[in-house]
Structure 1
Amino acid sequence: MLIEYRSGKCVWTLCWATRGLAIAGLLGASVCLAQGNSVAEETGGGLGRDTALVPSATEGNRAQARVIAQREARLSVEMAGRIDGLRVEEGDAFETGDALVELACGVERASLEKARASLKEASETRNANERLAELRSVGDLELSLSRVRVSGAEADVSVAAARVQRCTVRAPFDGVVARTHKREAEYIRVGEPLLDVIDPAALEVEFLAPSRWLAWLEQGKPFTLHLNELPLQLRGELQQIGVRVDPVSRTVRLKGALTGEPSHVVPGMSGDVRFEAGP
């Protein structure tokens, strides 16, 4: 015997066994899913497409963030050699162009002095030939060759000087030493890490946000950074929006600049970035 049961807008069909009066099985299924959605829209309980893209107020529009330096670098050497002088230690401040590390370059400096001596010799020969040329006591070929020798000697000096410059590691920008990887008197090869340097004066915030935030995020949008390490709330503005979305995590990389001059804030600190409610 089939019995049809109605509950609201849902219809259920049941099969009863005549013997034993037990339910044998469920033959029908609810057909109220689509009708229920219609009811929700009619009563205002549904969300439109645009509204679903914006995080709700309960989410708080928050994202985990970390403070990073806009300028940081891991310095190495352009030529292998022994470290003759380590001018800085961890935490030391420096300015652009300061000598941070000196390598033992006795051979390179000697080559430079030799190149300068050869240039002086070639210059003296050229000058003598030019005076003789005024007296018509030297041939044109000899005079031309002496001038060519001077040009070659000048090139040798430039090459030797460039090699000597590679013996000194200089600061690429104003900043501080974050870490030293080598010590004085140690040997270092090309490409091995030597110093980690950062500019603590120029800080920015980096974080990942849900890709659905792209519906209302825009450059210049203000945010507040709540630090975990310090009881501070820092103001900032969104500066850069990533150009692609990670398909696995469905997140996009964002960067923001801190406004004002935050004190006691250093790279590596973390916290929550909170935006105002989306449009």
Structure 2
Amino acid sequence: MWQANRFFVVAALGLLSQGAIAASPAAAPATDGRIRAQLMSRAAVTISSELPAKIARLPLEEGAAFSKGQTLVEFDCSTYRAQMNKAQASLDAAQQLVKVNTRLAELNSIGALELTQAQGKAKESAAELSYMRSTVQKCVIVAPFAGRVAKRTAAPYQYLNTGMAVMDIVDSGPLELRMLVPSRWLAWLKPGQRFTVQVDELGRSFPASIVRLGARIDPVSQSIAASGRIEAQDAALLPGMSGWATFAVPK
């Protein structure tokens, strides 16, 4: 019985010591000035349908580059355009009725009520036309910035309901480095601080600098978010890559 208890105590102490070793990097992070960092786009957006319609044209494949204002998605909106033309015709008729009733009111041939009703109908038709124009404008989705297609989740001729995703796009501008640094580094780490980052996927190092620091310290990990930017433009750098950021920590 004593041997069994002794084995249990030794095993438990062994597990505790292993846990302490595993936790030691978190308890004292970045003692050598090295921090894990990840490359991320400054803007990553999911393009979704704003109306129920069938995709008429989806010109870009995954990985394709596009410029700001370029068409990303075009929907088949023949029904919505027909409704817009109908609203335009209703507005034209309502405005003509207002003109006629205004003239008749000047001749005292109709009362003020008939004129007011005609004017109200014209305003209603104008609002309907404005709504349909806004709807038709959603039939074409253009790029909000220059970038690349990260993922396509829909296909040409597919019918989409409102809110369904079409594609994910990322900004093609300079990538940002996101990392968590020890909060004690705030004594010397400021925007503009230079460092180097070695990207694992490329096996190369790049000069970089801090562009901003987070606004809140995590009380559990005693860390704060930091964003940096690689100073060199390199087409080989892609969002999602990661590596080690190395800082010169003051003694």
Q: TM-score, normalized by length of structure 2?
A: 0.78
Matches within 5 A, 1:61-210: 61-210=33-182
For residues 55 and 107 of structure 1, the distance between their equivalents in structure 2, rounded to whole angstroms, comes to 61
Alignment check: 8 A CA contact 1:239 1:255 kept: yes
Cα distance, 1:246 vs structure 2: 3.5
Is the deviation greater in 268-277 or in 87-96?
87-96
Cα distance, 1:199 vs structure 2: 1.0
Q: Could you tell me which runs of 5 or more consecutive residues in structure 1 were left unpaired when the two chains were aligned.
A: 1-52
Alignment check: 8 A CA contact 2:51 2:138 kept: yes
Q: 1:215 matched to which residue of 2?
A: 187
Alignment check: 8 A CA contact 2:174 2:233 kept: no
One-letter amino acid matched to 2:149: V
Alignment check: 8 A CA contact 1:207 1:255 kept: yes
Q: How many residues align?
A: 224
4+ runs deviating over 6 angstroms: none
Deviations 1:183-210 (A, max 9, x none): 1122323333210101122311111223
Structure number with larger C-alpha Rg: 1
Secondary structure in 2 aligned to 1:243?
strand
For residues 147 and 81 of structure 1, the distance between their equivalents in structure 2, rounded to whole angstroms, comes to 34
Q: 1:243 matched to which residue of 2?
A: 215
For residues 183 and 263 of structure 1, the distance between their equivalents in structure 2, rounded to whole angstroms, comes to 28
One-letter amino acid matched to 1:64: R
RMSD over aligned Cα, in angstroms? 2.5
Q: Percent identity of the aligned residues?
A: 35
Deviations 1:88-145 (A, max 9, x none): 2212222333331122333322221111110010111122233444555443333333
One-letter amino acid matched to 1:245: I
Secondary structure in 1 aligned to 2:217?
coil
For residues 127 and 185 of structure 1, the distance between their equivalents in structure 2, rounded to whole angstroms, comes to 45
For residues 167 and 54 of structure 1, the distance between their equivalents in structure 2, rounded to whole angstroms, comes to 51
Q: TM-score, normalized by length of structure 1?
A: 0.71
Q: 1:268 matched to which residue of 2?
A: 240
Cα distance, 1:245 vs structure 2: 3.5
Cα distance, 1:64 vs structure 2: 1.1
Alignment check: 8 A CA contact 2:182 2:223 kept: yes
Cα distance, 1:178 vs structure 2: 1.3
- Asked if residue 252 in structure 1 is aligned to residue 224 in structure 2, the reply is yes
Distance change >3 Å, CA 208–CA 54, structure 1 → 2: closer
Cα distance, 1:54 vs structure 2: 10
Distance change >3 Å, CA 55–CA 149, structure 1 → 2: closer
Secondary structure in 2 aligned to 1:194?
strand
Q: Could you tell me which runs of 5 or more consecutive residues in structure 2 were left unpaired when the two chains were aligned.
A: 1-27
Distance change >3 Å, CA 190–CA 142, structure 1 → 2: closer
Q: Of Structure 1 and Structure 2, which has the larger fraction of its residues in helix? A: 2
Q: 1:22 matched to which residue of 2?
A: none
Where relative contact order (Cα < 8 A, 6+ residues apart) is larger, the structure is 2
